[in-house]
A = this chain, B = another copy of it.
Amino acid sequence: MEVALDKVTMDQVPNEVHQVVAPPYKSSLQKFITKVKETFFPDDPLRQFKGQPLKRKLILGAQYVFPVLQWAPSYSFKLFKSDLISGLTIASLAIPQGISYANLANLPAILGLYSSFVPPLVYVVLGSSMDLAVGPVSIASLVLGSMLTEEVSPSEQPDLFLQLALTSTFFAGIFQAALGILRLGFIIDFLSKAILIGFMAGSAVIVALQQLKGLLGIKHFTKKMALVPVLSSVFQNKHEWSWQTILMGVCFLVFLLVARHISIRKPKLFWVSAGAPLVSVIISTVLSSVIKAQLHGISVIGKLPQGVNPPSVDKLLFQGSHLGLAIKTGLVTGLLSLTEGIAVARTFASIRNYKVDGNKEMMAIGFMNVVGSTTSCYVTTGSFSRSAINHNAAVIGLIDLPSAYLIWKLDKFDFVVMLTAFFGVIFISVQLGLAIAVGLSVFRILLQVTRPKTVMLGNIPATTIYRNIHHYNEATRVPGFLILSIEAPINFANITYLNERILRWVDEEEATINDNLCLQFVILEMSAVSAIDTSGVSLFKDLKTTLTMKGVQLVLVNPLADVIEKLQKADEVDDFVREDYLFMTVGEAVTSLSSLMKGQSPTMEEEEAQKIVTEY
């Protein structure tokens, strides 16, 4: 096969040089439609509807909106049995988690329990993940609490605080559903893995710091979340430390860590660590009622109201001076909880080899939060710790050192982004730390576009392949040619840089070259230039003018469909892309142009070029 293909090459290529042509004509509207499709519907969600009869389409449509219709008919007793066991395990976690997460959000403990009840009922009807366990999560709780506390004190105005939390939940839901409906789900992709690792670790520290209040039994604790104010608050209130609370807290902490250790050592005993938090709650409840803890200085959360979720539509605030805060908090917590939920759903889908539709999940989670906000629930989402059987009962599991090390090894900039998220969360604030890290990541993308790489190509001896001479040592320069590859779309943000950088290549080239073989052609290899805008077109005009003054020809190789189309359109106005300086491969460009060089006869040229390529 190798020989065969190459025979074809030798027999036919020498006789023809391949023309670069514009792509087949498409109207602006067609292009726009294609662009919108590729941007917002990369998964082509309507594919399954094509060519189906109307009735089938209706069923498919209903199943699309309510995935429960898809799986319910085939739901078996066996599935029910395993679901029951999972359900009981998760419920045993939900009680302690609900209480502590509500505490993080500065909300009454009962809200944590309410939030573990209604949202799963909504998700089961709308969600498409088979593994996602929904409920309140630590990060969203923390952020909700910390953002609202900035304006309203949960201890002084508990009713207003609760109203704002529910209103924020409502807006979080609206925002999440809107992202799904508008198919803008890619926004959560901007929270990269590096950011999340740094952010989770930072949040773990913040959460642990907040636990000091409970562990030490301090009553006058700072409202702030950052490291410095919390620590100073801890040490300024030494007189409030309660040894009884500390003793009990440390005992339970040791108990939980031991339980976790056992489960990690013997994965079969996973239920030990799964059950430990519930056991702690039960033991501590019994203990506190027996020894009447409050009398002995141990802090308790008090009695919880009975019954299921009361309606809370009347608690939503759509006016007043705090509306802006509620919307902002909704946006941030909505985005964060969405990120966690989608990430969990995707992880399990890939492990068990089924698909979740990101945009559909967003609608499900969003609708779940809207319903939740009317039934006394605060922000919920799919939770890592609940979904994974192998969950982490202690906060320490949020700090992922092996991944941090891998990031350090692979990409130093990503590592800096991670550290930024971590220290930003610890020292500034949860939302600002996150924002700075995202900003840094976006800045890096923009920098890549603003400062695209231009690399010099050389010939891999005895082939027509041209590669970066700083990458492949065997790649050799071809005298008389400067072959540059541009590795980014060309647009307003980089034309000034590219113009300067290319002319510097040319200057350096002219300074080093000997007299008998001066620079005659600058070949720009454009295979990596995926797009071009009006400013980009003007770069070629300017380059062409400058190079022509120096007696050097500009040659373009393999401009892609969009690029060649725009260059040719601009060319109708100013004639600057001549067909005889446009080639499909660098190899063809060099062979064709070498024969033009210095008007020598083709035969002499052949031999010389041959010598050059192999000896240079």
The reply to whether the CB of A517 lies closer than 8 angstroms to some CB of chain B is: no
For A10, give its contact among B7, B39, B494 (CB under 8 Å).
B7
* Contact segment of A102-110, A139-147, A530-538: A530-538
- Give complex CA distance A549, B350 in Å: 12
With both beta carbons as reference points, the residue of chain B lying nearest to A358 in the complex is identified as B496
Asked if A460 contacts B18 (CB within 8 A), the reply is yes
The reply to whether the CB of A361 lies closer than 8 angstroms to some CB of chain B is: no
Min distance, Cβ A108 to any Cβ of chain B, angstroms:
37
The reply to whether the CB of A566 lies closer than 8 angstroms to some CB of chain B is: yes
The reply to whether the CB of A592 lies closer than 8 angstroms to some CB of chain B is: yes
For A38, give its contact among B43, B451, B471, B584 (CB under 8 Å).
B451
Asked if A186 contacts B450 (CB within 8 A), the reply is yes
Asked if A8 contacts B462 (CB within 8 A), the reply is yes
- Give complex CA distance A590, B10 in Å: 17
Min distance, Cβ A502 to any Cβ of chain B, angstroms:
10
Task: Give the contacts of A64-98 with B (CB-CB under 8 A).
Answer: none
- Give complex CA distance A246, B299 in Å: 81
Query: Which residues of B sit under 8 angstroms from A460, Cβ to Cβ?
Result: 18, 584
Asked if B4 contacts A530 (CB within 8 A), the reply is no
Min distance, Cβ A196 to any Cβ of chain B, angstroms:
10
* Contact segment of A170-178, A280-288, A411-419: A411-419
Asked if B3 contacts A606 (CB within 8 A), the reply is yes
The reply to whether the CB of A150 lies closer than 8 angstroms to some CB of chain B is: no
With both beta carbons as reference points, the residue of chain B lying nearest to A566 in the complex is identified as B410
* Contact segment of A118-126, A212-220, A386-394, A441-449: A441-449
Contact with B along A435-462 (1 / 0, CB 8 A): 0000001100111111111010000101
The reply to whether the CB of A501 lies closer than 8 angstroms to some CB of chain B is: yes
* Contact segment of A237-245, A330-338, A607-615: A607-615
Asked if A9 contacts B10 (CB within 8 A), the reply is yes
For A42, give its contact among B411, B470, B497 (CB under 8 Å).
B497
Count of this chain's copies in the oligomeric assembly: 2
Asked if B453 contacts A449 (CB within 8 A), the reply is no
The reply to whether the CB of A291 lies closer than 8 angstroms to some CB of chain B is: no
With both beta carbons as reference points, the residue of chain B lying nearest to A197 in the complex is identified as B534
Asked if B584 contacts A192 (CB within 8 A), the reply is no
Interface of A is mostly: helix
The reply to whether the CB of A301 lies closer than 8 angstroms to some CB of chain B is: no
Asked if B189 contacts A9 (CB within 8 A), the reply is no
Asked if A410 contacts B6 (CB within 8 A), the reply is no
Min distance, Cβ A218 to any Cβ of chain B, angstroms:
38
**A23 with B471: in contact, given A10-B7, A607-B4 (CB under 8 Å)?**
yes
For A530, give its contact among B2, B18, B487 (CB under 8 Å).
B487
A residues with CB within 8 A of B? 1-14, 18, 21, 23-24, 28, 32, 38-39, 42-44, 186, 189-195, 350, 353, 358, 406-407, 409-414, 441-442, 445-453, 455, 460, 462-465, 467-468, 470-473, 487-489, 491-497, 500-501, 504, 527-528, 530-531, 533-535, 537-538, 542, 545-546, 549, 558, 560-561, 566, 569-570, 573, 584-585, 587, 590-592, 594-595, 602, 605-610, 613-614
| 12 additional contacts (CB under 8 A) given A13-B463, A358-B496, A407-B534 | A1-B610, A5-B590, A6-B14, A6-B591, A9-B10, A9-B463, A38-B453, A39-B451, A42-B497, A194-B535, A410-B569, A414-B533
What are 27 pairs between A and B in contact, CB < 8 Å? A2-B14, A2-B592, A2-B606, A4-B606, A4-B607, A6-B14, A7-B10, A8-B463, A12-B462, A38-B453, A189-B450, A192-B491, A193-B538, A406-B534, A410-B566, A410-B569, A410-B570, A411-B533, A411-B566, A414-B535, A445-B445, A448-B531, A465-B584, A465-B585, A467-B584, A471-B560, A528-B528
